[in-house]
Amino acid sequence: MELINELKVGQIVRKNPKAADVFNEYGIDYCCGGNVMLSEVCEKQAIDFDEISLKIEKSFEDKQASSLDFDQFELDFLADYVTNVHHNYLYKNLPEIRFYVEKVFNKHGERFDYLPELHDLYLALESDLLGHLPKEENILFPYIKKMINELKLKEKSEKPFFGTIQNPISVMHAEHDEAGEILHRMRTITHNYTAPENACNSHLVMISKLKELDADLVQHIHIENNILFPKVVILEEEYFKNAVA
């Protein structure tokens, strides 16, 4: 593989998902903030570049054959994976998480200072996600499959109503960035999802579920920003060569 100092943070995780564990340890954003060189991140966050590089190199050595290598997935399969795993996770879990967030806020909002802001952040995140997912399912992902099928069948293709896939992708990037900012703030005010002392069981469940949601979204956004989207931009270039004028 290339030297670590020649790869961006997202590219490192793209080549070996186990490197994500190292970045999580150091609080490095590899999904929304994955389009930067590791050296830049280290300088900004006062991280020892040599130290983290050694850990990343070891993560490559420890890479297990059973690890999911998203970079090797076919693009239509990868789109289905995102829908079936990550989108379905959100549809299933967001209502339950909202139940606990509202329950804890209503009961303990005056006792714990961070709960009012957490409540507002979660509702904003949920609203953004529920508006975001259908755009991928109804516009972006079907177009990816359409390109793949027509290229395989060598059929003449027509440009989509949105002009180029880079247009919806730019919208997805902006919405990912917004979700990433909300997640960053949620981590900060919860001290990286650490429940306060004397928290009730519902409070503990809420914190646990928010932490799980964060981890799922980080992987979700990483797959799209760093693997799927760059590849489909290249795919579209080939597709457009066959496009009807």
> What token pair was written down for 13?
């995780």
**pLDDT over threshold 90, residue 189:** yes
**Position 178 in a domain:** yes
Same domain, 24 and 108: no
* Each residue's pLDDT tens digit, 57-103: 877 766 554 467 898 999 999 999 999 999 999 999 999 999 999 99
When divided into structural domains, the chain yields a total of 2
Domain carrying residue 25: 4-61
Q: Is there a domain that residue 245 lies in?
A: no
User: Among 13-17, 96-100, 129-133, 235-239, which is the least confidently predicted range?
Assistant: 13-17
Cα distances (angstroms) measured from residue 164 to each of 49, 73, 158, 175, 226: 38, 23, 11, 18, 19
Asked if residue 219 and residue 144 are part of one domain, the reply reads yes
Q: Which residue has the higher pLDDT, 88 or 197?
A: 88
Nearest-angstrom CA–CA distance, 181 and 125: 10
pLDDT of 243 over the 70 cut: no
Structure-block tokens of residue 141 = 């992902």
Checking if the pLDDT of 245 tops 50, the result is: no
Residues 133 and 14 in one domain: no
Do 96 and 193 sit in the same domain of this protein?
A: yes
CATH of the domain at 22: 1.10.3910
Our measurement of the distance from residue 199's CA atom to the centroid of its chain's CA atoms, rounded to an integer in Å, reads 29
Judge whether 226 and 11 are in contact, CB under 8 Å: yes
Whether 141 is covered by a domain: the verdict is yes
Assess whether 78 and 133 both reside in one domain. yes
